[in-house]
Structure 1
């Protein structure tokens, strides 16, 4: 009886915490200045868009500073044009831009940034420097480049477990999932799965369990806080990104190969259902306010809103050619594309909000 009451109590507290969080919005958003354009309304959603720069890749949000961090890198190695952008979530304008250091004086190549995650506990930003097989750490206050961390082959994604002072990254080319100490920047753990290509990451901070989407094998790589023996869970064809439900019991994978999102029961280790979203599903994020899932579809140039419990599509919103990444911020989605539109071939950021 006491165990049942404890379990119920925990669920009630969790529900209350989620409800309180969802009642908030990024600071000042309700009184935000108008952005460049409002170009789409569908179902109960409005999409605001603004051009940011060239070569956008990923976006992350800092609650501590109420800013978005966006990575941009242009062209192929040697990459000479790259910036870490500090963006106002209210106006969708660039507040500051920081340029990564030069790594090769002869070619002008820079430590180009691609993946991004925020560590609000230590007021830093972590990036993956894919072509340099490394990670980097920047100060959120000043944009100062604090450290370069080599040894992650084709570093693709990074996620921060603030409770355990860990930053996890994926090595796409050698099947590795690597953890670094967010205080000392030293490597703490390294797990390899032969024949895997780990890409997108998610972490359950309550348990410390990390999930990496395996692009090659259509599965999730689950790494617990207590074991270096990973558990492999079926996902979808070309699973490239992963997000978790609010309670951490369900995972959602964006499946690039099939243009779908998989709904995965993590306890059972099975796929409950697979829902069509759009060609080239590339990134996924969970709205913990509603339970809906947002999927960025690169080829179709849309962001699809899915109700994973019913297995239905709620909305399919235009978010620019080559829609690349999505992050959720208390019920609001921010999406970046690689549309290369306009006279200066600019890429855009899109803000998706409910109108109800």
Structure 2
């Protein structure tokens, strides 16, 4: 044993000596190499911006796609190179023109893997380097159309969300067109059988912005119904507030002042508890309102479970049976569960496999949360008891919103980039992938097993623009 031990020690000593010699040689080689590299002044005022898109306008980037990469705000004459690993993409360095712009196209390999690919951008004269991301989306084949009846109708431009009222037996739809100052916006009441417009109102003029520019309309985006008070709640995202309308004739009940809910996105109502909740997107806050007195009733702040990061609320779901609120964080890919009675955050759960979590739904029977993630093109199914992410389902480019139908026990995901609605069961199996319309934006359910999907416009003369679809499983 002693001889063996000495032999091992001698071998280790020799190996250690060889390592020291090799490390010294490497350091000498590296020093020589670095001495030959020109460490010229880096770009201390780098402003460059890069955008990658499919050459076919409005289409996602798929394996085999022709890609257009465009840049702006570079220094005139600056050389730009893109690399994946050590391999240069395209035909070599690009040169920014006199306006600091460039554009190049190249074709992705047919076998390019789905996912987000980090690429290295380097510039010369002056030097800069950074990571830019290229997302390759899944092509989920259409399927299951024979299992559903679908009818649709064109409504008004710029559809955003919809919500069904059992009391009024009506679907309320929001719309807004363009960037501030928004000049065209409407709250629309729709017959759920014929999908025809029953009533329509345009919101009022908003005050001028802080910079003195025109305020436009109090454009409406998120929507929820309160059947206990015969009202419809909407979010006025551009004015950082909310408003309340009557279900019966769409007359304005109350317009809250600008600033009541910063960049309000979604709104939901707890009819039994008499509260309305709006997500202040981009922040960790859910803003609370009294649904009867129509007064502000506090703020719920959500702390991320990830060190040094901030929860950033996206969509919002209220489950009446459990009295729980569910929201997801776009920045940290977490789901938060809030007890509506106490206003306390019960738990914050990390979502594995998610990038850019934005849509959320809940099934009280299985206690599973469904999360649509726009950055990873997938639906994540999370067990709220264990916190485990049970299923990761690729559903299509730009998974944006999700609704759960307790009648069929299926989740419906609107995929904005793919223009589809994917139907998924509670165990993560795709039941159907339905062609919907370009820019499928939102899905909502009624109490009978019907799903209402709305889409936005792609191009001015596309007949599929601005439609509401009613999707009903065949018996």
TM-score by length of 1: 0.84
For the residues of structure 2 that align with 1:41 and 1:173, how far apart are their CA atoms?
37
- How far has the Cα of 1:328 moved from its partner? 1.1
Question: How far off its partner does 1:340 sit?
Answer: 4.3
Determine the C-alpha separation between the residues in 1 that align with 2:350 and 2:404: 19
User: Aligned residue for 2:468?
Assistant: 349
- The aligned counterpart of 1:299 is 417
> What do you get for the CA RMSD once the two structures are aligned?
1.9
Specify the SS of the correspondent of 2:360: strand
Kindly state the Cα deviation for residue 353 of structure 1 after the two structures are TM-superposed: 1.2
Determine helix, strand or coil for the equivalent of 2:206. Answer: strand
Whole-Å separation in 2 of the counterparts to 1:140 and 1:183: 15
The 10-residue stretch of structure 1 (112-121 or 325-334) with the greater mean CA deviation from structure 2: 325-334
The corresponding residue for 2:193 is 90
**Residues 282-329 of structure 1, C-alpha deviations (whole Å, 9 max, x = no match):** 1101110121110000000000001122x2111111111100000111
Helix, strand or coil for the counterpart of 1:237? coil
CA deviation profile, 1:191-234 (whole Å, cap 9, x unmatched): 22362220111112233221111111111122223253452112
Q: Cα deviations across residues 10-55 of structure 1 (Å, max 9, x unaligned)?
A: xxxxxxxxxxxxxxxxxxxxxxxxxxxxxx9714112212111100
Structure 2: how far apart are the matches of 1:226 and 1:128? 24
Residue 103 of structure 1 aligns to a residue in which SS?
Answer: coil
Aligned match of 2:408: 290
| Partner of residue 119, structure 1 | 226
Deviations 1:99-157 (A, max 9, x none): 11101378361100000000011000000100100010001112111112342110000
1:308 equivalent among 426, 439, 449: 426
**If each structure's strand is expressed as a fraction of its own residues, which one has the higher value?**
1
Contact residue 341 and residue 347 of structure 1 kept, 8 A: no
CA distance in 1, matches of 2:317, 2:462: 35
Which of 186, 190, 197 aligns to 2:299? It is: 190
8 Å Cα contact 1:117-1:127 kept in structure 2: yes
Which residue of 2 is the match for residue 136 of structure 1?
243
Q: Is the 8 A contact 1:41 1:47 kept in 2?
A: no
**Contact 1:51–1:348 (Cα < 8 Å) also in 2:** yes
For the residues of structure 1 that align with 2:320 and 2:237, how far apart are their CA atoms? 25
Q: Is the 1:43–1:315 contact (alpha carbons within 8 Å) kept by the matching residues of 2?
A: no
> Given the superposition, is the C-alpha separation of residues 293 and 108 from structure 1 closer, same or farther in structure 2, using an over 3 Å criterion?
same
Determine which structure has greater relative contact order: mean sequence separation of CA pairs < 8 Å that are 6+ residues apart, divided by chain length. Answer: 1
CA distance in 1, matches of 2:472, 2:359: 22
Match of 1:54 in 2: 157
Is 1:42 aligned to 2:145, yes or no? Answer: yes
Counterpart among 178, 197, 200 of residue 75 in structure 1: 178
> Secondary structure in 2 aligned to 1:131?
helix
CA distance in structure 2 between the partners assigned to 1:47 and 1:342 by the alignment: 24
1-structure distance, mates of 2:293, 2:154:
36
Gaps of 5+ in 2: 1-142, 304-309
